Chain A
């Protein structure tokens, strides 16, 4: 019923507006169509000019509102470069934007129809075309040059000393694997995946796997000032590791391994002070539509000092120990066997 009432109301309003519109056109005919049309034309020219002025004011207001919200503090070196390139591009495009829009609206106002004016028959000018082909071409060349320099930097191979961490997407959370004491990620095979005790399909015949640590709560720990290289994979559909504070993004594609690397420069604790937000946390956002839980596929990154990192790492049992809680299992000594039972419960799949 309410839907019907709303629909009828809307139609009624339309009819009224239409009748007013029609009446004004009849009135125009009575008052002399030419004269009325000229008045309307003038009014519209003023409105266009007003829109431009209000628009510039609106952009200013919008800018004020978003200024400290829009580009979060960059937390890595490449991110700082990113921000400076972003500013250059904003400047270039901003100048073009204001000039062309100003010219557009000014011409609308200046050259509004008038009985007195005869138009200027101006059909072409090779000189002008040449000017406005060359200038954008040069501007683009500059932007491409800056862009490629930065692009080479962010896509360059990770330094050899980088910490290697694997991050694997699945509907709808992130699994994070650290290589453990041997600093080497063992082989995995999707056919060995088992949600109960082998979420990544680790191949237990590969000895590199026995000390690997898997975090299933989507929380990644990294050391400030130390490069970190992410080995990115997916178990099911395409996901994407989006790191807004590090200005980084890379798809997680099943069957393909992708990577990205960055050097975090600000710890999570410092960031809380910088942003004046005690709840601040670096977030990993899935940036590729992956199904109904896409919007909730959230991971976090804790950037901490080496000491904090070591302490945290020491408390982590290997995934092998968790999945194979026999005392005889290789690589799982009896001291680590104790917390295992609890962790197994904690990480059991939903």
Chain B
């Protein structure tokens, strides 16, 4: 690779060149606060911006879930504290149904898009891609900065929508029309929905700017010797995440734009034969199902956009802390490719009961259950990775192990839902809630936590507190199962999701006490996440200082950079790579790992 001129374009190109030539950027000129911390083009700073914005959104989104869990768990009790937070929407401490639905909708939107897409990919693709492929920064640092600021603009849009008089969008995170298209249909379909659509449109722009950057960096800016087959699995995973996003987000964009047209300009893409608010609307000929196809063409790849980074990071963390190579590197890459390709041809399994042709349904059943195969390969490879290892249980490792456990549990229930003949009863029940929360909610979060604990020293030059990490892990892991395991049973009984109150239903009111139990656990788990945030913030300033370059004994390139690298990452030359990233074996000097930068010994075969 061409090391000179790796960073082209952008006002700081020259600055990065300086570092490349072996100078300290900081010695030259102290960057102004605004350029260093706000409009930064350094991938490391942008990754922190994504992570911190993601954390703020995660607190808001999780707090919403605590509020609506109060309602679900204790429908007859008033919680005056909710009135403090929500004002009019929770008069007398009881949520109104409209706002209950708004909270459910925003909880989904925030967690799926703003936390587990932007907060997860944005953080770790930005942090790890340049570090682990051996690049000074992204292909286009300027576009990278724009990616964050479009995300920020999208965040502002969503945040504002929380404060408008008619409330934020309340049609579910999938915002199916006509409910979301007609102002008469619900309060949340007013200005709140417009802000939601605008926010999502901006979000798509951010995601595309980021994704294109990630792909071009991985493909073009690898350091000398870093062939594709020497990339760590994190990079493979983040690469396919970006590919998924780049190919599917534009389809959501088109869906969103058509919905904006239907709402504001009198078109009938999604609307047909509707009588609402006492009058028949003029729309004829549209199809409400069209939106679902457009939405789920993104929506399904989206769950893999959320899952893949976690898979990559879990692979890396498991291997490092087992002191063993990842088992089946190529099988891992091929299964990632398999998942990526299949992700595009399974979307209609969310639509088995929309009246879609049953024949088409059966094709989607076949393709959906096919995904179980690469997923199973990954699980077995992780298990073999820890087999006969030497496991160090630091918090990152625990979260990676928890990730595997949750991925198994949540993945297996997908086999029920992907099979249309079983889905017809389980569709839109609590079984679905349990399934996707375990597999792409909690499990993806575990991947993210593993990443944060593992790379925190690289981000801040300090460690997070281990004891708090252990408390965080055990409560979250046990809590997640306590919350979502019983929900499977409720779903099997047919209990529908998105209900404000079940007390009028003969078939479902029997689950009241279990709903209360779930709500209490949810509150405990929420407070534990605050403990994590507390640990995160305090450790930035007070954490134990990093004294060695490579605290975990890792093989990958990021641990060859200085403790707090400047813009450009390496002082002097970018190191050259000679071997794959999983050489966890005796190096002949008493170490149990060989960094990628160590040349092959005479007679040693490259992996």
Contacts and interface: CB of A to CB of B under 8 A. Distances in A.
A255 B178 CA distance: 11
B323 A235 contact: no
Contacts of B470: 44
Contact of B530 (A14, A47, A62, A236): A14
What range describes how many residues of B lie at the interface? 35 or more
A279 interface: yes
A197 B398 CA distance: 65
A124 B535 CA distance: 38
B531 to A, nearest CB: 6
B362 A148 contact: yes
Contact of A289 (B171, B182, B527, B586): B171
A89 B325 CA distance: 34
B78 interface: no
A304 interface: no
Contacts of A232: 355
B578 interface: no
Contacts of A286: 496
Contact of A124 (B272, B327, B355): B327
Nearest to B180: A237
A289 B275 contact: no
Nearest to B358: A155
Contacts of A237: 176, 178-179, 182, 185, 274, 276
B345 interface: no
Contact of B275 (A147, A236, A258, A277): A236
A312 interface: no
B365 interface: yes
B393 interface: yes
Given A123-B325, A285-B494, A249 B419 contact: no
Contacts of A146: 421
A121 B494 contact: no
Given A89-B415, A122-B324, A151-B361, A236 B178 contact: yes
B388 interface: yes
Interface in B313-345: 322-331
Interface string B267-284: 000011111101010001
Given A55-B481, A201-B275, A132 B377 contact: yes
Contacts of B604: none
A133 B506 CA distance: 45
Contacts of B187: 292
A242 interface: yes
B373 A136 contact: yes
Interface in B353-372: 353-355, 358, 361-362, 365-366, 369-370, 372
Interface stretch (A137-145, A178-186, A210-218, A340-348): A137-145
Nearest to B499: A295
A267 interface: no
A154 B427 CA distance: 15
B486 interface: yes
Contacts of B176: 237-238, 288-289
Contacts of A93: 412-413, 415-416
Contacts of B530: 10, 14
A129 to B, nearest CB: 5
B288 interface: yes
Contacts of A105: 405
A254 to B, nearest CB: 5
A41 B412 contact: no
Contacts of B284: 255
Interface stretch (A20-28, A220-228, A314-322, A331-339): A20-28
A82 B494 CA distance: 13
B456 interface: no
A311 interface: no
B377 A143 contact: no
Contact of B289 (A248, A253, A281): A253
Contacts, number: 363
Interface in B458-477: 465-468, 470-471, 474, 477
A288 B428 contact: yes
Contacts of A313: none
Nearest to B328: A124
Contacts of B474: 47, 51
A97 B494 CA distance: 23
A136 to B, nearest CB: 4
Interface residues of A, number: 121
B333 to A, nearest CB: 11
A274 interface: no
Interface stretch (B129-137, B202-210, B379-387): B379-387
A248 B424 contact: yes
A111 B425 contact: no
B562 interface: no
Contacts of A58: 481-482, 485
Nearest to B105: A289
B372 A136 contact: yes
B466 A25 contact: yes
A259 B271 CA distance: 20
Contact of A256 (B185, B288, B376): B288
Contacts of B303: none
Nearest to A21: B467
B101 A294 contact: yes
B183 to A, nearest CB: 12
A298 B179 CA distance: 19
Contact of B370 (A140, A258, A277): A140
A117 B185 CA distance: 66
B584 to A, nearest CB: 7
A21 B185 CA distance: 52
Nearest to A199: B275
A2 interface: yes
B98 A292 contact: yes
A289 B274 CA distance: 17
Contacts of B508: 285
A251 B353 contact: yes
Contact of B427 (A17, A55, A287): A287
B416 to A, nearest CB: 6
A152 to B, nearest CB: 7
B425 A247 contact: yes
28 contacts: A6-B81, A18-B465, A18-B468, A40-B466, A41-B393, A45-B393, A55-B481, A66-B489, A69-B510, A89-B419, A104-B404, A104-B405, A105-B405, A111-B388, A114-B390, A121-B584, A125-B327, A132-B376, A140-B415, A147-B422, A151-B420, A195-B278, A242-B494, A242-B496, A256-B287, A289-B101, A289-B172, A292-B101
Given A171-B185, A292-B170, 20 more contacts: A14-B530, A18-B535, A58-B482, A66-B486, A101-B408, A118-B586, A123-B328, A125-B328, A132-B380, A143-B369, A149-B421, A150-B421, A155-B358, A249-B424, A249-B425, A249-B428, A251-B355, A285-B496, A294-B498, A298-B504
Interface of B: 80-81, 84, 97-98, 101, 170-172, 176, 178-179, 182, 185-187, 271-276, 278, 280, 284-289, 322-331, 353-355, 358, 361-362, 365-366, 369-370, 372-373, 376-377, 379-381, 383-384, 386-393, 398, 401, 404-405, 408-409, 412-413, 415-416, 419-422, 424-425, 427-429, 465-468, 470-471, 474, 477-478, 481-482, 485-486, 489, 492-494, 496, 498-502, 504-508, 510-511, 514, 527, 530-531, 534-535, 538, 542, 544, 582, 584-586, 592, 607
What 8 pairs between A and B have smallest CB-CB spacing?
A244-B494, A255-B272, A21-B467, A258-B355, A155-B358, A150-B421, A295-B499, A66-B489
